Every structure is written in C-alpha cells, then in structure tokens.
Amino acid sequence: MSHNSPYSNLSDEELINRYRNSHDLKYVGELYHRYSHLAYGVCLKYFKNDAAAQDAVMQIFEKLITDLKKYHVAIFKSWLHTVIRNHCMMQFRTNTATVRNVQEYKQEMQNEPQFDMENQLELHLEAAEEKEWLLKHLNESINDLRDEQKTCVELFYLKEKSYQEISAITGYSLNEVKSYIQNGKRNLKNIIIAKHERAKEK
C-alpha cells in the first residue's frame, strides 16, 4: 500500500525529535503508520484475538504520545518492541487465562526476523511461570547480588520500571541495563536454588 506523506522520508529519530520539539501528533502518526502492523502482529501472537490485539496497539501508541516526550529513544524499533512486550506481559498479570499463550509465542518468535536475538532471549527468560517463581523468592537472596545487578533487578521486578526508565534513573546504558538484569536474574536463580538445596540437606 502506497503511503504519500511529507514525512515519509524522515528517519524515526528525526520524527521523534520533531515531535519532542513541537508536540505535533502528526509525527507520532507517521510512526504509527510505519510500525502499527508490526505491533499488531506481536500483540496478536500474545492474545490470539484480533480485537484484543487491535485494542493493545491503540493503547501502546497512546502511551507513546507521553513516553516519547519523557525518554531519549536511540533505536525506536527496538525500544517499541520492549514497550509492546511490557504492555502485553502486564495484561498477562491481570488475565491469567492468557498465560498459556506465552509458550506458543516464544516458539513462534524463534522464526521472527523483525526482532533481534536479545529480545527473544528476554521474552524467554520472562515467561510468566519463571517470573512468578523468581518474585516469590526475590527478597531472600537479592542482597547477594552485585550492587549494579541488585539495583537493576529491583527496579525491573519490584518497581516495574522499563529498561528506558532504569537507564534514566541509574545512568547505565540500555545495553548495560539489559546485561545487569539478565545476569542478575540468572545469578539470583542459582543463589536461590543453592540455598534451597542446602536447606534440604540440613
């Protein structure tokens, strides 16, 4: 489908900068045209329902109207996927009936070309069952983590901050935030399991 727009030649970064300076929604509208179909595809794989996926896309882009003013976004497509994932996972927390779709979605994402391996790994690590288990035992072992891992894990899981928000709060780069959360989560699981094994032996 052709798209004749005076802004179609602008990069994502240029659109965001113009929006931040002018607050003119036509720039967000251009981003919506570029990425709403990708957002819909991801949401549909989560919800398995056309109406729910369309509603989620609208909610996500309404949220962007505010978020793009607050956060510096380096790579919009990657950042948008994080926003979509967080939105859908939040819906899972309030609708446990959809949790069963997580496993199917993880399998399908293995063949998705749009998003990089880091995002696939993040989704895998944050399956609802694992997250629930980790939150249950978080407080008993989080102080055993290195300071930077502890800070990022606390903000991500307990405060439910996004990568972008954690980066803004801590001053760490987005890649550092991802790394600290991934490594902290893995280390935390190992610490918790080791403690429980020792407790069984006593």
pLDDT at 92 over 70: no
CATH 1.10.10.10 segments of the chain = 127-202
pTM: 0.48
CATH number, domain 1-115: 1.10.1740.10
Of 101, 118, 16, 96, nearest in space to 53 by CA: 101
Ranges for all domains in the chain classified under CATH 1.10.1740.10: 1-115
Cα separation, 50 vs 64, in Å, equals 21
Q: What is the pLDDT of residue 4?
A: 66
C-alpha–C-alpha distance, residues 25 and 11, integer Å: 16
Which has the minimum average pLDDT: 6-15, 58-67, 73-82, 127-136? 127-136
- CATH architecture observed for domain 127-202: Orthogonal Bundle (1.10)
